[in-house]
Structure 1
Amino acid sequence: MTDAIFEAVWASASVPLRDAMDLAYLTGQRPADALKMTEHDIIDGHLIVTQEKTKQPPRIKIIGQLATLLDRIKARKAGCKVKTAALLVNLNGKRLTAPALRAQFDKARTAAAVAVPDLAEEIKQMWFYDLRAKAADDTADDLGDQAASNLLGHENVQTTRRHDLRRGKIVALTK
């Protein structure tokens, strides 16, 4: 997934879906794990993720864009009458559910394909889960394959390379 495809879908997304896309991308977590994240998972400046599939507990530093996102979520939740510890909430402040996430994503993807016809085919092929692979690719490009593996909670880098790294290494020319 390219930045342009991500941005096209994000621009067509509802506020709760934007939060979900940003959280899933920045943390590199599976959709189900992102939906389960709560304020109680924020400890000593880290977001502690308990992964359902692997049971790995990566501690993600709350800095930069993730800190900004969590502040944005907190401010939005403060204006809701319903209070929940869940990080991802709908417009009423209730926990965002997997079916709601899927419906909102499908709607945003369809709208993005119309809004950006040059990328329509690629946008239609995008799945929410692809944000995990994008997080892996972007992290690997900036910090290396091991950092991507750590973010995704894999025990070894080979798992990350096999399942989530899709772009290939950046290489230099001969001359």
Structure 2
Amino acid sequence: MIARRKTNLHLPPRMYLYEGKRKPTYYTITIHNERINLSHDLREAKRKLLEIEEGRPIAGTISELIERYMKEISPKKAPKTHKDEISNSKFLLDVFGKMNPVDLRPVHVAKYLDKRAKVAPVRANREKSLLSHIFTMAMRWGIVDANPCKGVARNKETPRDRFITDAELASFSEYAISTGETGRLLAEVARLAYLTGQRRGDLLKLRLDQITDDGILIIQGKTRAKVLIQWTVSLRDCVSKLRASPRPVQGMFLICTKKGQPYADAGFKSVWGNVMSAWCDLGNERFTFHDLRAKAITRMIEDGRNASNLSGHAGDAMINKVYDRRAVKKSKAVE
């Protein structure tokens, strides 16, 4: 049985008063026995308590800041980035949501990275990047004067170095083809990914009207870059086989189901995962679809070609960090 309030009878349920030396502070206690200061002003305190009880972001908190960012900024990004930010923002809300933005300090961000590093160090870096961009926007909106994420070192990441050999790609494709019609399509999509060096999401959305006389025009969802992949004999052969796959006469997409619909990312990942797992059960080493992009870019670098034209990156920093999978970097002598 809950005890009846004997003092401060004018306060609403679950609101309490602390009489400080200079001014009173109204606060509440959550079901987790966590104290949340509401305000020094009773009217403002009542409003914030109502927001908490209704599950709405509290005005003037990082929770409200994140909500604004997720409504105004995140949806303008690539669909996958937006989806990732929705997931990452939940972790930030749990830890920082009730804080005032001006109270967040670099030490808080550092402790967050340290704690998350024990479970998911790489993902913690992505969450920190999101928090940093949120505060960059908060500076623009006039909410804060500085970004507390600046200067806080990220968790150490080990770059992925898996390189798919030509023999491995041929072996996987041969096995995929042996599994049936869907496997044959999968093998050609893997081949297309290597020949073009493009991301899975951009290939799955590739429309037939993007196939031109000059090549394949890719509009990258992540960078918004336009990349024209010019024709080679191998690329023409690959596209011809994909166009010959079962499809309605009026189908719009190069890679599609028998009904002419584009593959959903989750659906394609499932098909890829099943075939890859079966191939690995034969004693082969697993590789990801994204490793095909790295193979293409590495091949470009080895041939002395400009890999950024293929990848769509503005500079070489990301290429060198993520996509260059050469085990040994070779260079000729100066003279």
1:47 aligns with 2:216: yes
* Shift of residue 143, structure 1, vs aligned partner: 3.4
Q: Deviations over 1:60-117 (max 9, x none)?
A: 102221111111122224xx346322111234543222122111211111121133x2
Match of 1:162 among 313, 317, 321: 321
1:142 aligns with 2:142: no
Give yes or no for contact 2:214–2:231 (8 Å, CA) kept in 1.
Answer: yes
Looking at structure 1, the residues matched to 188 and 260 of structure 2 have their Cα atoms a distance apart, in angstroms, of 13
Q: Which structure shows the higher helix fraction? A: 1
Secondary structure of 1:137's counterpart equals helix
Letter in 2 for 1:89: C
Looking at structure 1, the residues matched to 302 and 281 of structure 2 have their Cα atoms a distance apart, in angstroms, of 31
- Counterpart in 1 of 2:290? 129
When structure 1 is superposed on structure 2, of 50-59 and 162-171 the one drifting more is 162-171
**Alpha carbons of structure 1 residues 74 and 171: separation in structure 2 relative to 1, 3 Å:** same
- Counterpart in 2 of 1:72? 241
Looking at structure 2, the residues matched to 104 and 138 of structure 1 have their Cα atoms a distance apart, in angstroms, of 27
Looking at structure 1, the residues matched to 166 and 265 of structure 2 have their Cα atoms a distance apart, in angstroms, of 24
* Shift of residue 5, structure 1, vs aligned partner: 2.5
- Counterpart in 1 of 2:251? 84
Looking at structure 2, the residues matched to 56 and 132 of structure 1 have their Cα atoms a distance apart, in angstroms, of 16
Give yes or no for contact 1:16–1:91 (8 Å, CA) kept in 2.
Answer: no
Letter in 1 for 2:330: I
Number of residue pairs matched by the alignment: 163
Match of 2:203 among 18, 21, 34: 34
Looking at structure 1, the residues matched to 250 and 238 of structure 2 have their Cα atoms a distance apart, in angstroms, of 18
Secondary structure of 1:129's counterpart equals helix
- Counterpart in 2 of 1:101? 268
Looking at structure 2, the residues matched to 151 and 101 of structure 1 have their Cα atoms a distance apart, in angstroms, of 23
Give yes or no for contact 1:83–1:94 (8 Å, CA) kept in 2.
Answer: no
Gapped runs of 5+ residues in structure 1?
none
**Alpha carbons of structure 1 residues 143 and 4: separation in structure 2 relative to 1, 3 Å:** same
When structure 1 is superposed on structure 2, of 84-93 and 49-58 the one drifting more is 84-93
Percent same amino acid at aligned positions? 28
Looking at structure 2, the residues matched to 135 and 31 of structure 1 have their Cα atoms a distance apart, in angstroms, of 13
**Alpha carbons of structure 1 residues 53 and 81: separation in structure 2 relative to 1, 3 Å:** closer
Structure with greater contact order relative to length (CA < 8 Å, sep ≥ 6): 1
Looking at structure 1, the residues matched to 278 and 304 of structure 2 have their Cα atoms a distance apart, in angstroms, of 34
1:10 aligns with 2:179: no
* Shift of residue 11, structure 1, vs aligned partner: 2.1
Gapped runs of 5+ residues in structure 2?
1-163, 177-182
Give yes or no for contact 2:207–2:252 (8 Å, CA) kept in 1.
Answer: yes
Looking at structure 2, the residues matched to 132 and 27 of structure 1 have their Cα atoms a distance apart, in angstroms, of 8
Q: Deviations over 1:37-79 (max 9, x none)?
A: 11111223221100011011011102221111111122224xx
1:151 aligns with 2:310: yes
Scaled by the length of structure 2, what TM-score is found? 0.45
